[in-house]
Structure 1
């Protein structure tokens, strides 16, 4: 049973639109879906872009790196703005600004101009921090992880949907005779840009910053007005989660960028088929991230903060093993099965990570979310250099090895930090039972 209407809910009723909490939840995940859709809308169309702009492998690597680089700074900034302005105004502004490069990337006539547009589009990745902040303030402690994971997971399916839908949109424009096949990617990218503007209107009109109202409508307990970014940055647990998120979400957006091209080049799949195969990874977000958050909440309610960290460690170790095997598959059917396996572990790790984030420091949730979220993109940027410098099969192998090592590092951290059993985070979880 939920609390009164202007308080955080202690139950996630996913089929309900009743109350500002559930209305905000649904608008938030749907907005994040279209942000992800726009962010990676060009990825399945890259074979067309590459052919027309005569891109080299190194240039394509630079483009992939650019697509995640701007997000790093954007997430740090947006996390801080969430704590100051509130998610409603911040999200609306982000959507409007990012719709511009999404719609205009089709004007690119060279590698340089395309790279600049791709860099600018990457700012939309900061939407994740807003999504996690907004669901954190709308729900009670015992289900924050579940709410965050479901919203993040459903939103992330935009990365899978775009792998299927964008090639079909481009093909539809060609079929209608509006544009040639070579130029179809240019017109196709206008669609996700328009969708961002639609969501900007809906977000500003129908959401609230908190269950009590918007930041400028309510009295907020800001204490001594500490710099929440510094508060978050001084807590070493923030950085442990940042490394973990680099090893799961950083890998996720790398796969979103390279999977279609990998299947196209390595297994000779057609453009549409390669996009379809790559979308399997994205569609796992429908349930996998949510499952990670739900299990993490249950483990946390029983075993406290350390239980959540233990679960995250196991998922990262399994993810690393799965990627290593995927790189050595050598057979399309086996590769698809392993993509499913490591994708499942990876997305559950995403959910488990952000199940922990709200408990690091309740007074700096936006900044913690921003730093950890930026870590995912730092990971993706570094992985981009890996894929740029070697063939994709070898890159996946070394990537899996790196993820496994991160899992081991967090395991070692856990073994030497048993004192965390009495942390404020565990106390909050126990009090919420």
Structure 2
């Protein structure tokens, strides 16, 4: 596969078009941060209001990933991804044309749904690549697409400057003339145009392959009664984290006390509605009218451990990316600009680390062991990062050598974090074929759960070295605990390195026509 990865035909065309679709959703999702200063000056916002917008940027991503997973399993990735990309233009244009803080909040909440796009490509890539290559393929999809956040950070200010000759531009204090409105609207328009191109250029499955759908996509299908109650327990944190977000919004004055209570009741109703839908899907199982044969069962504990793994890797990544510039600035007394550049080294590792995690998972011979080792190394890496202030003091200051050492420590830790993400989604498509979208949605949502939980903890810690040390130690210990679960409880999925996915016949078998590649040098399987 490594020799064919640069091909743009057959399954490689699907891979490249899909990671770029994900890339654009992350460009859109993260288009606020680099232009936040211009927005703040234009509206005269307080710091608390800017932080509120940042919270809104992730608020609906958690339930959206669950819902997108359901739609994905029902309608297929081609239609779902195309519509999400086209939808992205609506909140982008609404945000760019907002005249009040309330309009900014509403449009940003609507835009947070775009952050669910990651889930869609997981199943698209899984449909086109066999299990033995799924790690590298999903790693390239996730790593290269995830780079959209760093791309936004490095380019949108330049784009806004280039668009400054249009009406509505704003002179930022001690900065360039910017047109932040047109820059944000442009990201949405580009995503929408690509959505049309994507729909016209891809298919859900290779020729001759049937797209497997669950009996009902209203809720996640489980195969034992015990797993149903386990599912109910694991769904609870998805609602609890939304309640935590509502609490944070109330603390900055966005919710009145009455509105906060109403929000909590609505979120409780959302959990009960989700539980009801899961009951509808699994009611025959619960009533004893349906029993799955052994070969059709899967263990929900696999999904639960993957959810916990994504909390500690992707959840911690989102949290660390948010605090790392301030960490470098405060620890070494650097300027905001230089601290931001050093912190960007963490996100840049996505280009190689996540595909590397997937490749290691393909080559090591045990996807379970790969994920356990990478998670263990990640935990140790965070514990090491927690020692940076102490090492600085022991080496006598914050000179160039100490800063370089801290950057190296950060990048090494970042590699294991993002490689762990790649190994997680090398496993997700192998749990149960027909509900891959919903499994990916649940696991992806837990990444946001982790980010919100970690950032809330960080906001409650004391400023300075003591708070940073506790934060990194918490991330490290959480990683070690989940690594233990991966080593001793997680089970290797059936057919982890098979030529065909579970439930599929080999190409060319009777009644199953061999798929035809666009280019014979790049066969589908």
Q: TM-score, normalised by structure 2?
A: 0.70
With over 3 angstroms needed to count, the CA separation of the structure-2 counterparts of 1:334 and 1:49, relative to structure 1, is farther
Deviation at 1:255, TM superposition (A): 4.0
Deviation at 1:252, TM superposition (A): 2.4
State the partner residue of 1:308.
370
State the partner residue of 2:220.
229
Deviation at 1:126, TM superposition (A): 0.9
**Contact 2:204–2:211 at 8 Å: present in 1 too?**
no
**Contact 1:92–1:204 at 8 Å: present in 2 too?**
yes
One of 474, 477, 482 as aligned partner of 1:402: 474
State the partner residue of 1:4.
none
One of 250, 258, 263 as aligned partner of 2:315: 250
Q: Which has the larger Rg?
A: 2
With over 3 angstroms needed to count, the CA separation of the structure-2 counterparts of 1:69 and 1:417, relative to structure 1, is same
Is 2:62 the partner of 1:83? no
Q: More deviation in 89-98 or 335-344? A: 335-344
The residue correspondences of 1:168-179 to structure 2 (distance < 5 A) are 168-174=158-164, 179=169
State the partner residue of 1:194.
189
One of 297, 306, 316 as aligned partner of 2:362: 297
For residues 278-317 of structure 1, give each alpha carbon's deviation from its aligned partner in whole angstroms, at most 9, with x where no partner exists. Answer: 4333222111110111112212x2xx34323322432431
State the partner residue of 2:496.
429
One of 402, 413, 431 as aligned partner of 1:360: 431
**What is the CA–CA distance in structure 1 between the aligned matches of 2:143 and 2:406, rounded to whole Å?**
23
Is 2:199 the partner of 1:204? yes
**Contact 1:260–1:277 at 8 Å: present in 2 too?**
yes
One of 440, 459, 474 as aligned partner of 1:369: 440
State the partner residue of 1:269.
335
State the partner residue of 1:320.
382
Deviation at 1:187, TM superposition (A): 2.4
Q: More deviation in 309-318 or 386-395? A: 386-395
State the partner residue of 2:489.
417
Structure 2 residue runs without a partner (length 5+): 173-177, 232-298, 501-525
Deviation at 1:101, TM superposition (A): 1.3
Deviation at 1:247, TM superposition (A): 1.6
Q: More deviation in 33-42 or 388-397? A: 388-397
| Stretches of 4+ aligned residues off by more than 6 angstroms | 175-178, 327-330
Q: TM-score, normalised by structure 1?
A: 0.84
With over 3 angstroms needed to count, the CA separation of the structure-2 counterparts of 1:313 and 1:284, relative to structure 1, is closer
**What is the CA–CA distance in structure 1 between the aligned matches of 2:108 and 2:330, rounded to whole Å?**
22
**What is the CA–CA distance in structure 2 between the aligned matches of 1:415 and 1:255, rounded to whole Å?**
25
Higher helix share: 1
Deviation at 1:33, TM superposition (A): 1.0
Deviation at 1:269, TM superposition (A): 3.1
- Residue aligned with 1:229, SS: coil
The residue correspondences of 1:28-39 to structure 2 (distance < 5 A) are 28-39=18-29
**What is the CA–CA distance in structure 2 between the aligned matches of 1:414 and 1:401, rounded to whole Å?**
20
Q: More deviation in 254-263 or 149-158? A: 254-263
Number of residue pairs aligned between Structure 1 and Structure 2: 410
For residues 294-353 of structure 1, give each alpha carbon's deviation from its aligned partner in whole angstroms, at most 9, with x where no partner exists. Answer: 112212x2xx34323322432431342254246776845444333322222211111111
The residue correspondences of 1:10-49 to structure 2 (distance < 5 A) are 13-19=4-10, 21-49=11-39
For residues 384-426 of structure 1, give each alpha carbon's deviation from its aligned partner in whole angstroms, at most 9, with x where no partner exists. Answer: 32344454866654432232222222233245438x3xx5x1x
For residues 335-378 of structure 1, give each alpha carbon's deviation from its aligned partner in whole angstroms, at most 9, with x where no partner exists. Answer: 43333222222111111111111222223211111100001111
